[in-house]
Amino acid sequence: MAVPTLTPKTKSTAQHLISLPVIVAALGYFVDIYDLLLFGIVRVPSLQDLGLSGEQISDVGTRILNWQMGGLLIGGIIWGVLGDKKGRLSVLFGSIITYSLANIACGFIADVTFMDPTDYYAYMRFIAGIGLAGELGAGITLVSEVLPKELRAIGTSLVAGVGLFGAVVAYFTVELFDWKMAFFVGGLMGIGLLLLRVGVIESGMFKNVTEQRHVERGNFLAFFTSTDRLSRYLKCIGIGLPTWFVIGILATFSNEFGKAFGIEEPIKPGLTIMWTYVGLAFGDLSSGVISHALHSRKKAVSLLMGLTLAVSLFYLYGGLKSAATLYGTALVLGFGIGYWAMFVTIGAEQFGTNLRATAATTVPNMVRGLVIPMTLTYQAFKPSMDIINAGALVGLMAFVLGFYSILTIPETHGKDLNYLEE
């Protein structure tokens, strides 16, 4: 009598999308966004508590934000290289410990007496930035490699969509308690996440590559040794520029824009950021579905980038006259830049397994790092062009590069990721 053979049961779509790697990546990004945006939310009240007022808050706040973004730029390279050399999970563990401890340290800023508290604030945000740089790229890379190729867009959008609600929690934590407690909460949430990470398995694609001793992994300079590879890398960065124009300029300095628009009610940048990220969460959830339906990453991103351009023009020149209208416009802007997850996924899909984590981690953090020249350009042209036109100048550069990049980069929808960069 023949003995029946048992065939492995195929996972359903729901089982793939609710698997532990996806859940943990989503929760990790939730904490990442909470901590990343916390300074933007508490910038005004925290600096007021340190005795700053008026123009000082704008200047010092910009300096501290730039330190944080500089940390993201450097951290992106560090964690990206480690992600391809040591594994996706090692980055997720190391980065979260770094930014969790830095955020707890930020809760003690008001008690610092051994140096200028604003300098201490900048240094801690720099360290936090280094830590925060590793979370998204490693998470997206891991999810992209463990999910079937037809579910990658939906899976990575799910990670980002859930994660982006961290901005909402950050805002209400500050409102319910205070900015110091918000930093402590962020740090403790990160430490709690480490316990969830224990059960997550490493990507099979990465394990296969580690067995091939001749393959060089995580060489950041490899992006610059091939014209084709460099072109793809720079275009990946260009696609993301409009997203941080909206977050780093229009939302972060919305209190300044509100005054320029003649809105009588004081605008809270923290509230603007929160509404932007509510829209961004829904946009990210939608972008995966749109890409899946259109069978194209490029069409989905182009569509949302076009919406962002139209709403940015309305924000700057549409004659906003109330705080409610500004917050509502921020919500729609957030939905428009909801291609963020798709942009990071494109970065992961453009490169082979031996460079994938390096690309997926450095690309979004290069974009975040470019907030530094954006804010410096904005601040430099404010006196001569006024606030609105200075913001528009930064936006013009971001959108020109963004559209050029998405229209000329290779399509990656349905691409098999099990390959190497030579």
User: Looking at the domain assignment, is residue 3 inside a domain?
Assistant: no
Q: What are phi and psi of 318, to 5 degrees?
A: -85, 0
- Closest among 76, 152, 78, 164 to 345, alpha carbons compared: 152
pLDDT for res 6 = 45
Range with top average pLDDT, 52-66, 286-300, 388-402: 388-402
- State the alpha helices, DSSP H only, in 337-386: 340-349, 356-369, 371-385
Tell me which DSSP letter residue 4 carries. P
- State the alpha helices, DSSP H only, in 107-216: 117-132, 135-146, 152-163, 166-176, 179-197, 204-210
**Model confidence, pTM:** 0.77
User: Looking at the domain assignment, is residue 421 inside a domain?
Assistant: no
| Count of domains forming the chain | 1
Kindly report, residue by residue over 294-349, the tens digit of the pLDDT: 888 899 999 999 999 999 999 999 989 999 999 999 999 999 998 887 888 888 88
Kindly report, residue by residue over 144-182, the tens digit of the pLDDT: 777 776 677 677 777 777 777 788 888 889 888 889 999
The answer, yes or no, to whether residue 263 has pLDDT greater than 90, is yes
The answer, yes or no, to whether residue 419 has pLDDT greater than 80, is no
- Half-sphere exposure (Cβ direction) of 77: Cα atoms closer than 13 Å: 12
pLDDT for res 2 = 47
pLDDT band (50, 70, 90) for residue 401: very high
User: Looking at the domain assignment, is residue 25 inside a domain?
Assistant: yes
* CATH number of the structural domain spanning residue 142: 1.20.1250.20
Kindly report, residue by residue over 179-218, the tens digit of the pLDDT: 999 999 988 988 887 776 655 544 444 445 455 554 455 5
The parent domain of residue 79 ranges over 19-202+224-408
User: Looking at the domain assignment, is residue 6 inside a domain?
Assistant: no
User: Looking at the domain assignment, is residue 12 inside a domain?
Assistant: no
User: Looking at the domain assignment, is residue 7 inside a domain?
Assistant: no
In whole angstroms, give the CA distance from residue 407 to residue 206.
30
User: Looking at the domain assignment, is residue 367 inside a domain?
Assistant: yes
- Closest among 99, 97, 102, 122 to 46, alpha carbons compared: 122
- State the alpha helices, DSSP H only, in 50-116: 55-85, 88-106
Tokens of 252: 């972060």
In whole angstroms, give the CA distance from residue 223 to residue 279.
33
- Report the Cα–Cα distance between both ends of the chain, in Å, rounded: 52
Average predicted confidence (pLDDT) for the chain: 83
The answer, yes or no, to whether residue 122 has pLDDT greater than 90, is yes
Kindly report, residue by residue over 77-119, the tens digit of the pLDDT: 888 777 667 765 666 678 888 888 999 999 998 888 889 999 9
In whole angstroms, give the CA distance from residue 67 to residue 125.
7
User: Looking at the domain assignment, is residue 14 inside a domain?
Assistant: no
